[in-house]
Amino acid sequence: MAVRLIGVCIGGFTPIKGLAEIPYDYLVMPSNFLRQVVLAEWGVKPDRILVTHNGVQRRKPRFPQWPAGSGDGGGPGGGALGS
């Protein structure tokens, strides 16, 4: 079996010189915002764009809440960070 897939990673808004000469299958980019810019300004077909949402967390993270003054840096009088 032979497989060929060529992806060009895009990380900015400036068009890539010579992109038309690259036999790519997909342009890979990190956001839908960048996708919209590329569609509007670069003339790339929508079916040749792949968006990967790297590092996106959909829910708010839960950080531990330390009582103030407990000596762990959690508030006034709380260790080196809180003093």
Percent of the chain residues topping a pLDDT of 70: 65
Q: What is the pLDDT tens value at each position of the chain, 83 positions in all?
A: 888 889 999 888 888 889 889 999 999 999 999 999 999 999 899 999 999 876 656 677 676 676 666 555 544 554 444 44
Give the pLDDT confidence score for residue 71 in this predicted structure: 57
DSSP string of 26-67, one letter each residue: EEEES-HHHHHHHHHHH---GGGEEE--TT--SS------PP
Among 21, 20, 24, which residue's Cα sits nearest to residue 6? 24
Identify the pLDDT of residue 3. Answer: 80
What radius of gyration do the chain's Cα atoms show? 23
